Structure 1
Amino acid sequence: MTGRDERVAELLRQHGRTFAQQAGIRLADTPSPLYRLLVLAVLLSARIDAGIAAAAARELSRAGFRTPRRMADATWQQRVDALGRGHYRRYDERTATMLGDGAQLLLERYRGDLRRLHDDAGSVAELEKRLQDVPGIGPTGAAIFCREVQGVWTDVAPYVDDRAAQGARLLKLPSSPKGLAGLVPAADLPRLTAVCVRATLDDDVR
């Protein structure tokens, strides 16, 4: 094992929790965890601490809003209250509206199943574009979703967005998708990109 291999292994050991894992999401290619990841991407898209976004995502799940149908059937106030319990208060009212509208869009276009969105997208670029049709998901949110989902939607990999590439450079690692992917088994690439993103946010990671 080279020195760089040892450093990557140590980074993964100390900081290699994906944002989905931080939010209590056991990611799989099934409708509920995929939707919960999309909700997390909406929450992380705001200018708010990632820990607060993850806590809010957990509270929405605890409230039972784990599918587009359950999110759409919830009242606006129920969504606001769940976000508040996660201390996601600065953007809670606007986000509660976006989550309801986004759930309705997914029900109408994809019968509430993000796998249908994936199947309809013929490329990663098209996947990013379709994700951005969801209220609250812009380029940042689409990148977050793709970065995290590449472990289960392997056709998306290797996915390294600008933020992850910036972190890779700070860590003196290759910043290209192929270069970063070459450092770890495919299953660990979402963890490594999460480390890189955290490097842009936290001096301790660097």
Structure 2
Amino acid sequence: MDTSEVITRLLREHGRTYADEAGITLHDKPAPLYQLLVLTVLCSIRIRAETATAAARELFAAGLRTPRAMADSGWQERVDALGRAHYVRYDESTATALGDGAELLLDRFHGDLRRLREQAGGDTAELRGLLQEVPRIGPVGADIFCREVQAVWPELRPFFDERSRSAAADLGLPRTSSGLAELVPPEDLARLAAALVRVSLSKSATEELRAA
């Protein structure tokens, strides 16, 4: 299978972003950007991505789609929503982190992550640093957010973290972000990054692509 066929299969079979799986229609607007941040917080511990996206959907279904709604919600309400998605062991600490993070966002950025983007001034390292000031988000979480948000924040493109670059190398694709960016249109970069991460989490998917 040549490179173009690998890319076609990656996007077709694994190219759903995690934001889409969580029910987020991503736009450069305060609410969907915040929802992506919530998903990032949920993914920032050792837990299955399917559980994290399910937990995000439960929180959003409970009306917790904005920093104000999250900050005004009760801690137990957040715990209960996480519990419905079987987001266990970390439900109480995550409920606390979500509440604290919402307050931080309201205090520093008026609840609008576009202000955080402006403060970063197009500097990806600065943006990652600002994201890591949000409770629970560390370097891996910052990578998750940047991987997905490049769909609507073009200055981050191309963004492929170590996990996605390593998966690409395993499939015989370029290991560099710039090399991967040459393989798809800019609007597909977030999908390709997500596909590579999904494949890295599935030994069978990697083997199928290698064998094809």
Query: Above 0.5 in TM-score?
Result: yes
Give, in angstroms, the shift of residue 175 of structure 1. 1.5
CA displacement, residues 102-160 of structure 1 (integer Å, 9 cap, x when unaligned): 00000000000000000110200000000000001100110000000001000011111
Confirm or deny that 1:4 pairs with 2:3. yes
1:138 matched to which residue of 2?
Answer: 138
1:93 aligned partner, one-letter code: E
Match for residue 52 of structure 1? 51
Amino acid at match of 2:165: A
In 2: Cα distance, 1:124 partner to 1:188 partner = 19
**Which residues in structure 2 correspond to 1:53-92 (within 5 Å)?**
53-92=52-91
Counterpart of 1:163? 163
Corresponding residue of 1:104: 103
Q: Give the drift of 1:204.
A: 2.8
Unaligned stretches of 5+ in structure 2?
207-212
Structure with more contact order per residue of length (Cα contacts < 8 Å, sep ≥ 6):
2
Q: What are the Cα deviations for residues 30-82 of structure 1, in whole angstroms up to 9, with x where unaligned?
A: 01110010010111111000000000000000001001000000000000001
The answer to whether 1:180 aligns with 2:180 is yes
After the TM superposition, which segments of 4 or more aligned residues of structure 1 sit over 6 Å from their partners? none
Q: What is the TM-score normalised by the length of structure 1?
A: 0.97
Contact 1:20 1:40 in 2 (8 A): yes
TM superposition score normalised by structure 2 = 0.95
5+ residue gaps, structure 1, are none
Tell me by how many angstroms 1:205 deviates: 2.2
How many residue pairs get aligned? The number is 205
RMSD: 1.0
3-state SS of the aligned residue for 1:205?
A: helix
Q: What amino acid maps onto 2:193 in structure 1?
A: T
C-alpha distance in structure 2 between counterparts of 1:193 and 1:172, whole Å: 15
- Quote the sequence identity (%): 59
Query: CA contact under 8 A between 1:63 and 1:82: conserved in structure 2?
Result: yes
The question of whether the paired residues in 2 share the 8 Å contact of 1:23 and 1:55 is answered with yes
Q: How much does 1:3 deviate?
A: 2.5
Shift of 1:99: 0.2
The AA in structure 1 aligned to 2:72 is D
Task: For 1:13 and 1:61, locate their aligned partners in 2 and report how far apart those are by CA, in whole Å.
Answer: 27
